[in-house]
Chains A and B, each alone.
Chain A
Amino acid sequence: QKEVEQNSGPLSVPEGAIASLNCTYSDRGSQSFFWYRQYSGKSPELIMSIYSNGDKEDGRFTAQLNKASQYVSLLIRDSQPSDSATYLCAVNVGGSSNTGKLIFGQGTTLQVKP
Chain B
Amino acid sequence: DADVTQTPRNRITKTGKRIMLECSQTKGHDRMYWYRQDPGLGLRLIYYSFDVKDINKGEISDGYSVSRQAQAKFSLSLESAIPNQTALYFCATGITWGYTDTQYFGPGTRLTVL
Contact = CB atoms under 8 A, between A and B. Distances in A.
Given A45-B105, A92-B100, A101 B43 contact: no
A104 B59 CA distance: 12
B105 A96 contact: no
A46 B102 contact: yes
A82 interface: no
Contacts of A31: 98-100
Interface in B93-114: 94, 96, 98-108
A44 B104 CA distance: 8
Interface in B30-89: 31, 40-45, 48, 50, 58
A43 B90 contact: yes
Interface string A101-114: 11011110000000
Interface in A82-96: 88, 90, 92, 94-96
Nearest to A43: B105
Interface in A15-48: 31-32, 34, 36, 42-46
Given A42-B108, A43-B108, A101-B48, A34 B42 contact: no
Interface of A: 8, 31-32, 34, 36, 42-46, 49, 51, 88, 90, 92, 94-98, 100-102, 104-107
11 contacts: A43-B105, A43-B106, A44-B43, A46-B103, A51-B99, A95-B99, A96-B99, A100-B48, A100-B101, A101-B58, A102-B45
